[in-house]
Every structure is written in C-alpha cells, then in structure tokens.
C-alpha cells in the first residue's frame, strides 16, 4: 500500500524523504515521487519502479531544500507510470499533494472540476484533491485543505505543500493512518512509524478527521472544525524491524487485523450512495452482454481457489447461473469444455501465479472472455484479462493469504449481485438486503478481532495436537477447506477439511478420543444436519469447537467450545467465519514457534508451474 513522508527542518529534506520512503519499501509500491521547494519554486520528481531510480534522477540535481513531501504509490486508479505517481499538482503548479486511500467520488469531482476548466495530468483519484485545494485557497493552506476535503467521499491520509507557504506543511487523515514526528526544531509526517525511526521517537498519532499543521515553530493538531486538539505524545520504543510490522509480531497477524480496512476499501465506491445496490464500474460488459453468458468457470490456486468455491455458491444462488470451479493446474491440462458463452473468472492475489496465468491464456485462446480478480495493479493477470476487478487489500506480505482472501470473497458477492441484476433473478429489495449485509461486514470483522485473546488461549490449548479436522456443510464446507489450509501451511499440523455429510464415508475412522474437530455451523438451514454430524464426532470422543452466528443454544449444548460470530445472514457468513480460523491457525503456529510469515517450502508468489 502507498506510503507518505513529509519533512520540515534544517536537514536536506530530499535526503530525509528518500530515506523515509526506503523505510516504507516493505509495504510494496510501484512508483515513487517527491515534491520540494527549491529556491522558492515547487519542484517535483517522480518515477515508476524502484526508489533507487528516483534517487538517481535527483542526484544530478542535488537539491538543497528544507521542506518537502514524498510518496510511494501502490496503483489503484490508473496504471503504474511516471504520470500517475504522486505528488500531484493543481493547474497552477502551486500546490502539491500526496495521498493514501481511495477517493470514492473522484469520478464526479473530476467531471465537475473539468467543467469548471481544470485540466488533469494523471488518471488518479488523488489529483482532484490538488484542484479542489486550488479552488478553495484564499491565503490559508489549512483552511483550503479542510474545504477541499469537504467535497470528498472515501478514505485518505493526505499531505499538502504549497509554494505560497515555504515553511508550512499541512495534512489530514480519515480511515488511513498518518503520524506527525516531533524532532528538535524539525517536524515529520509519515503514514507509518518506520519512516521516522532514525529521526523522531516522539509522535502524534492522528485520529479520524484530524488535521496537522507543521511549521518551524511547532506541530499543531486540529479537529474537523479547525480547533486545536491537545494531543498526547506517543513514545516509540520499537526496533526497526518490529516497526515495519507496525508493532505486530508477524505480518500475518498485522494483515489479519487489517481486514476491516481492506474490506472497507474493496467495498468503498462499489456501493451506491443510498447503500442499496452494488456497482462494479470497472466491468465494461453491459447487463445485456452479461445476460448472454451461459456458464461461469472460476480458475485459481490455493486460497484463491477456495474463494472461487464460495463464488460458486454465491453466483449460483443469486444469479442461477451454472458455475464450475477449477484448480488452475488441473484446468490447463484437462481440455475443459469452454465456448464463447463461458465467462472465465481467474482469481489471484499476486496476479503472477504461473498456473493461473497459463489457465487465463488457455481460456483466451479458446475465445472466452476472462475477468480477473486480483490485488496487484498492473500484474500479468490484470494486463492479460479482458476485465479486471481489483481487491483493495493492500500489499500482502505474509505467505499465508488472509486479507486478500476475504476481499476476494467480497468481490465474488459483488459479482453475484451484478449477474443477478443482469439475469433478473433477484428483486431490488433482495439486492438491497445483500448489499446491506455486506456493508456491515467490516465492523463485524472488527468485533471478531476483539476476541483475539480468547482465540489465543484456545489455540494454545490445542497447539500440540497432530491432526485437526474441519467440517461444514454448504458455504461452511468451502470455509472449512480454507481453515484447514491456513492451519497446515503455517503450523505444520496435519489439517483436513471434510464436508460434514461425508464424515461417515471414511474420515470418521480417524476420529478418536481428544482429536480436535472444528465445526463450522453458520448455515442456519443446514444446522440440524450439521449438529447430527457433530454428534457422530462426539460419540467417538472427539473434541469439537463450534463456530456459529450469534448465540445458538443448540450449538453451545452440543460442542465443547463455542466461538460466536456477530449475528448476520448465513449467506454472507464465510467472510466472518474464516477470521477466527485465521487467528486460531496463527496462534497455534506461534505457540509451536513456527516461522509464520515464511513457512517452510512455500513462496508468496508461485511463478513456476
Ligand atoms: C495460501 C496461499 C496460497 C495462494 C496461492 C495462489 O495461504 O496464499 O495458496 O493463495 O498460491 O496465489 P495467488 O492468489 O497469488 O495466485
């Protein structure tokens, strides 16, 4: 995800900015840029690719400057390029902004600004901010930013530099982190603490809606109304490596905890302002074209394949269209039955998985249209597919996929709603109901994350077992598969998922006294059947952990431990139910002392067959 740094003080600002950006490299980025004041004039340098390229381009110039802002971009709106890299300017070139987050209504704003004569130099959502500041500016930089942000819907951490104010930086945040570093006679801005570690150990952590104003006289924090806020100083005592993980012991835990934010970003502009419908504007196929497809084939690997399995249930239920789900490594060699009326959906976090790319090419060679669901802008999958829907999970660094998976699920629901509309299989009221349930998910995931400690205790109790079984019916079965994969890949405990109804066709032979079985019990229509399977396990003295929506007496009575999720419709339960499974896997692996972020024999991006 993008990174922001800002500096004002006696050092060479460009060196501080470049160093700060390098310290944020671990977050992933595709381009970088800085803006600074050089002899009173606002200058910008930005480059696609590595920070080293930006650094090189600045070396010839060797600017001596005391104030500047910098950014590493992880493309969202517009492909990675020099032009789309931040900072962005207004029409006059007097204001430069860097921004993390997504401006959901940027399309409307861009149109309105265009009609008022503004000209845009990039494809980004961010650039509208610079033009809005230009319009709002009446001599007070802070007031101009505040006024500009009043027009904006979405999430942001933003920093603003202007030629009119050679000793002032202003910044603001909403749903995207931003901190102010307090040095001696020098002040810093950063989206993440690691950027500041060599310079400042005392910081203000900006809260939602707050703004910061940095001058050589000090740093002030202001509320939404522009009133000063008495801010507590936070003392940073992390080492550099821990700080990259934002204080979390592992990237995996950090990424699990980032899910509310990732889900909000993925849903973001895809819900109508009224909140009663979902839209996927990036899909250029019309409803008529979508209606013509007779089949959907989803192709992916590993966790992304599990997202595809949920997608099958969702699309078939909402849109009544047949859906096949294939492992990419199987699909490419089995001569699949495809025709021009089949939409092939490939799901890939990295967009670089060799088997998935090969499957995509195979599908295109056979005349299918391919829609990609991916997390990485400009990845091979994104470039080669006909249509792309991005998950805005931000860079996923831990090998075990967590936030990419839940955002993939969200996209599959949105796709289901789109197909339902095209095929007329759901009423507007039904679509509004599903949309409303999806909108609640990020806050509900937050509630599940609050149970972290209980899950850790549970995990520590079972961390020495040799086998764990996951059972479920319907959507819960697909979640069970993901739960088992998560556990085995990071803890090295043998974990197996079984459709609950299949237990007695073989797997039950392995259930003996004390064997832990995790029973997903979120599907209300199938609950009775599932509980019968749980009783089969109990009769063999297995130990059952049940996961259910809200408080369910019949589940609590039947299992040994119960994990309660917030109450929600069963149909959207997978996005919630997987979260405690991720945490259980994480804490079991942690208790066993495993190398969680880099499990043995595994790689984050599988670019070989
Ligand atoms: C498991 C995991 C893998 C990936 C798989 C596909 O936690 O991360 O199973 O899901 O290698 O990777 P992408 O989604 O990048 O194609």
Give CA separation, 17 vs 11, 70, 176, in Å.
Answer: 10, 6, 20
Cβ of 329 closer than 6 Å to ligand 1, yes or no, is: no
Query: How many domains would you assign to the chain?
Result: 3
Q: Please tell me whether residues 271 and 173 are part of one structural domain.
A: no
Neighbour-count burial of 358, counting CB atoms closer than 10 A to its CB (0-12 exposed, 13-18 middle, 19+ buried) = middle
Q: Please tell me whether residues 424 and 357 are part of one structural domain.
A: yes
Distance CA 2, CA 7 (A): 17
Cβ atoms of 375 and 388 within 8 Å: the answer is no
The reply to whether 215 falls in a domain is yes
Cite the active site residues: 2, 604
Cβ atoms of 410 and 254 within 8 Å: the answer is no
Domain final residue pick, 243, 269, 287: 243
Cβ atoms of 326 and 297 within 8 Å: the answer is yes
Give CA separation, 28 vs 426, 555, 606, in Å.
Answer: 40, 43, 17
Give CA separation, 359 vs 120, 302, 363, 365, 390, in Å.
Answer: 38, 14, 6, 10, 19
The reply to whether 605 falls in a domain is no
Six-digit token string for 420: 């339902």
What DSSP designation does 309 have? H
Q: Are strands 323-327 and 295-300 parallel, antiparallel or unpaired?
A: parallel
Cβ of 356 closer than 6 Å to ligand 1, yes or no, is: yes
Nearest to 406 by CA among 249, 261, 511: 261
Cβ of 303 closer than 6 Å to ligand 1, yes or no, is: yes
Q: Please tell me whether residues 406 and 464 are part of one structural domain.
A: no
Report residue 271: phi and psi, to 5°.
-115, 135
Give CA separation, 518 vs 372, 449, 546, 551, in Å.
Answer: 32, 18, 6, 17
Q: Please tell me whether residues 442 and 469 are part of one structural domain.
A: no
Residue 415 CA to ligand 1 center (angstroms) comes to: 21
What is the enclosing helix (H) or strand (E) of 57?
helix 51-59
The reply to whether 602 falls in a domain is no
Q: Please tell me whether residues 175 and 67 are part of one structural domain.
A: yes
* 350 CA: nearest ligand 1 atom: 15
Q: Please tell me whether residues 520 and 397 are part of one structural domain.
A: no
Q: Which residues pair with 159 in a beta bridge?
A: 98, 171
In the chain, which residues have pLDDT < 70? 1, 240-242, 607-609
State the pLDDT at residue 102. 87
Residue 372 CA to ligand 1 center (angstroms) comes to: 15
Taking CA atoms only, the protein residue closest to ligand 1 atom 8 is 401
Distance CA 441, CA 119 (A): 38
Cβ of 353 closer than 6 Å to ligand 1, yes or no, is: yes
CA angle 277, 278, 284 (to 5 degrees): 130
Cβ of 401 closer than 6 Å to ligand 1, yes or no, is: yes
Q: Which residues pair with 499 in a beta bridge?
A: 472
Give the rounded distance of the alpha carbon of 584 from its chain centre: 21
Range of the domain at 183: 2-243
Cβ atoms of 7 and 68 within 8 Å: the answer is yes
Residue burial 396-422, b: 16+ Cβ < 10 Å; e: rest: bbbbbbbbbbbbbbbbbbbbbbbbbbb
Check which CATH number belongs to the domain holding 193 and give it.
Answer: 3.60.20.10
Cβ atoms of 56 and 16 within 8 Å: the answer is no
Walk across the sheet containing 187-190 and list its strands.
41-48, 31-38, 67-73, 3-8, 187-190, 179-182, 202-205, 234-235
pTM: 0.82
Six-digit token string for 193: 């603490």
Distance CA 573, CA 567 (A): 9
Q: Please tell me whether residues 43 and 131 are part of one structural domain.
A: yes
Distance CA 261, CA 61 (A): 39
Residue 262 CA to ligand 1 center (angstroms) comes to: 17
Q: Which residues pair with 295 in a beta bridge?
A: 342
Residue 604 CA to ligand 1 center (angstroms) comes to: 7
Walk across the sheet containing 561-565 and list its strands.
494-499, 467-472, 516-521, 543-549, 561-565
Q: Please tell me whether residues 330 and 457 are part of one structural domain.
A: no
Q: Please tell me whether residues 417 and 559 are part of one structural domain.
A: no
Domain final residue pick, 227, 243, 259: 243
Residue 300 CA to ligand 1 center (angstroms) comes to: 8
Query: 3-state DSSP call for residue 64?
Result: coil
Q: Please tell me whether residues 238 and 256 are part of one structural domain.
A: no
Distance CA 352, CA 603 (A): 12
Q: Which residues pair with 156 in a beta bridge?
A: 174, 175
Cβ of 396 closer than 6 Å to ligand 1, yes or no, is: no
Give the rounded distance of the alpha carbon of 453 from its chain centre: 23
Ligand 1 mutation pick, 251, 256, 301, max ligand atoms within 8 A of CB: 301
Domain final residue pick, 395, 424, 449: 449
Nearest to 520 by CA among 500, 505, 538, 503: 500
State the pLDDT at residue 609. 63
Residue 322 CA to ligand 1 center (angstroms) comes to: 25
Ligand 1 mutation pick, 28, 353, 479, 585, max ligand atoms within 8 A of CB: 353
Q: Please tell me whether residues 313 and 179 are part of one structural domain.
A: no
pLDDT digit string, tens, across residues 350-377: 998 989 999 999 999 999 999 999 998 7
* 381 CA: nearest ligand 1 atom: 16
Q: Please tell me whether residues 237 and 303 are part of one structural domain.
A: no
Cβ of 349 closer than 6 Å to ligand 1, yes or no, is: yes
Cβ of 301 closer than 6 Å to ligand 1, yes or no, is: yes
State the pLDDT at residue 378. 73
The reply to whether 599 falls in a domain is no
Check which CATH number belongs to the domain holding 309 and give it.
Answer: 3.40.50.10490
């Amino acid at each position: 995800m993008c990174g922001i740094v800002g500096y004002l003080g006696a050092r060479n600002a460009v060196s501080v900015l470049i160093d700060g950006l390098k310290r944020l490299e671990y977050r992933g980025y595709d381009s970088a840029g800085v803006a600074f004041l050089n002899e009173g004039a606002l200058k910008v340098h930005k480059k696609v690719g590595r920070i080293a390229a930006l650094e090189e381009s600045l070396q010839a110039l060797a600017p001596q400057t005391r104030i500047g802002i910098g950014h590493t971009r992880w493309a969202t709106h517009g492909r990675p390029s020099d032009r789309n890299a931040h900072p962005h300017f207004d029409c006059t070139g007097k204001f430069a902004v860097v921004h993390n987050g997504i401006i959901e209504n940027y399309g409307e704003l861009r149109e309105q600004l265009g009609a008022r004569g503004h000209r845009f130099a990039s494809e980004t959502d961010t650039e509208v901010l610079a033009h809005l500041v230009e319009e709002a500016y009446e001599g007070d930089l802070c007031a101009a930013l505040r006024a500009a942000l009043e027009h904006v819907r979405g999430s942001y951490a933003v920093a603003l530099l202007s030629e009119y104010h050679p000793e002032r930086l202003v910044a603001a945040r909403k749903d995207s982190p931003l901190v102010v570093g307090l040095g001696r006679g020098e002040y810093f801005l950063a989206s993440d603490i690691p950027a500041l570690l060599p310079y400042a150990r005392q910081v203000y952590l900006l809260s939602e809606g707050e703004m910061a104003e940095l001058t050589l006289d000090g740093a002030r924090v202001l509320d939404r109304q522009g009133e000063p806020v008495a801010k507590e100083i936070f003392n940073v005592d992390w080492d550099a490596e821990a700080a990259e993980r934002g204080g979390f012991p592992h990237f995996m835990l950090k990424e699990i905890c980032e899910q509310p934010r990732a889900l909000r970003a993925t849903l973001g502009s895809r819900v109508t302002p009224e909140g009663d419908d979902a839209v996927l504007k990036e899909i250029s196929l019309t409803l008529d074209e979508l209606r013509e497809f007779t089949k959907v084939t989803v192709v992916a690997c590993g966790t992304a394949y599990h997202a595809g399995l949920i997608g099958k249930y969702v699309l078939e239920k909402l849109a009544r269209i047949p859906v096949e789900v294939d492992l990419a490594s199987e699909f490419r060699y089995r001569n699949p039955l495809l025709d021009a009326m089949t939409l092939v959906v490939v799901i890939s976090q990295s967009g670089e998985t060799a088997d998935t790319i090969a499957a995509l090419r195979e599908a295109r060679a056979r005349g299918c249209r391919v829609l990609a669901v991916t997390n990485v802008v400009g990845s091979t999958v994104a470039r080669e597919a006909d249509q792309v829907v991005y998950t805005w999970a931000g860079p996923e660094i831990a090998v075990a996929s967590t936030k990419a998976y839940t955002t993939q699920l969200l996209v599959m629901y949105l796709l289901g709603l789109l197909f339902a509309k095209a095929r007329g299989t759901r009423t507007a009221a039904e679509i509004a109901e599903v949309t409303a349930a999806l909108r609640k998910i990020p806050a509900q995931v937050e509630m599940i994350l609050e149970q972290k400690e209980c899950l850790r205790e549970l995990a520590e109790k079972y961390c020495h077992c040799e086998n764990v079984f996951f059972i479920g019916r319907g959507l819960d079965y697909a979640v069970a598969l993901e739960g088992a994969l998560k556990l085995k890949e990071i803890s090295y405990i043998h974990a197996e998922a079984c459709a609950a109804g299949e237990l007695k066709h073989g797997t039950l032979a392995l259930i003996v006294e004390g064997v832990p079985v995790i029973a997903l019990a979120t599907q209300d229509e199938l609950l009775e059947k599932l509980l019968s399977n749980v009783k089969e396990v109990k009769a063999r003295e297995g130990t059952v952990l049940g996961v259910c929506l809200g408080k369910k007496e019949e589940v609590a009575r039947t299992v040994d431990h119960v994990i309660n999720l917030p109450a929600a419709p069963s149909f959207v339960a997978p996005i919630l139910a997987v979260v405690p499974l991720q945490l259980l896997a994480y804490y079991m692996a942690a208790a066993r002392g495993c190398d969680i972020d880099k499990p043995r024999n595994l790689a984050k991006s599988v670019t070989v067959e």
